[in-house]
C-alpha cells in the first residue's frame, strides 16, 4: 500500500452515531445512571437550547460514592464543561490522531451552527476500519 493509498476520504458525519440520547444539566443524576445501565453506553451529551453545554460519562457518576448525590442531584453538578468537539466535516484520519494524542475515546459532533448532531467514539472508528476490509 502506498502513502497515497492511505489517504482517507471519510468524514466524521459518515461514521458518527446519530440519534443520540441526550439529557439536560437539569436532569437528575439518577436518570443518567439508569440510562447508562439500560443502554450500555458511556457518554451522555448535555444539551440546553439545542446547544451542547457539557458531557457526563458513566465514570463521572457511576463510580462515585452514592453519598455524593441524592434524588435531587442534577447532572450540571457533575458534568464536564470543557469538552473537545469536532465538526461533522472533520476528516476521520485527523480525528483518530486527536483521539490518540488527547487520550480520549468519544467526542461530540456539531454542525456549522454549533448544534449538537451526534457522537463519535473509538468504537465507531474501529467499526469503520473493520468494515473497510
Give residue-wise pLDDT tens across range 21-69: 999 999 999 899 889 999 988 999 999 988 899 999 998 888 777 777 7
Query: Does residue 1 sit within a domain?
Result: no
* Residue 47 in domain: yes
The total number of structural domains in the chain stands at 1
Q: Is residue 37 part of a domain?
A: yes
DSSP string, 9-71: --BHHHHSB-S---B-TTSBHHHHHHHHHHH--SEEEEEETTEEEEEEEHHHHHTS-GGG--T
- Conformational region of residue 40, where left means phi above 0, alpha means psi within -120 to 50, and beta covers everything else: left
Sorting pLDDT into bands at 50, 70 and 90, what band is 109? very high
Q: 54 is in which domain, residue-wise? A: 6-132
Share of the chain above pLDDT 70, in %: 94
In a domain, 45, yes or no: yes
Does the residue 87 lie in any domain? yes
CATH number for the domain harbouring residue 16: 3.10.580.10
Q: What is the mean pLDDT of residues 82-92?
A: 94
Residue 20 reports pLDDT greater than 90: no
> How much is the pLDDT for 133?
77
Amino acid at each position: 500500500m502506498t502513502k497515497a493509498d492511505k489517504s482517507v476520504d471519510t468524514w466524521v458525519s459518515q461514521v458518527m452515531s446519530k440519534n443520540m440520547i441526550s439529557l439536560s444539566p437539569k436532569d437528575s443524576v439518577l436518570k443518567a445512571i439508569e440510562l447508562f445501565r439500560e443502554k450500555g453506553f458511556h457518554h451522555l451529551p448535555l444539551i440546553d437550547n439545542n446547544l451542547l453545554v457539557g458531557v457526563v460519562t458513566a465514570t463521572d457518576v457511576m463510580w462515585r460514592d452514592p453519598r455524593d448525590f441524592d434524588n435531587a442531584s442534577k447532572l450540571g453538578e457533575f458534568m464536564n464543561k470543557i469538552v473537545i468537539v469536532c465538526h461533522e466535516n472533520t476528516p476521520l484520519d485527523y480525528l483518530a490522531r486527536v483521539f490518540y494524542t488527547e487520550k480520549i475515546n468519544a467526542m461530540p459532533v456539531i454542525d456549522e451552527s454549533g448544534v449538537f448532531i451526534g457522537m463519535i467514539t473509538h468504537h465507531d472508528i474501529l467499526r469503520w476500519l473493520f468494515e473497510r476490509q
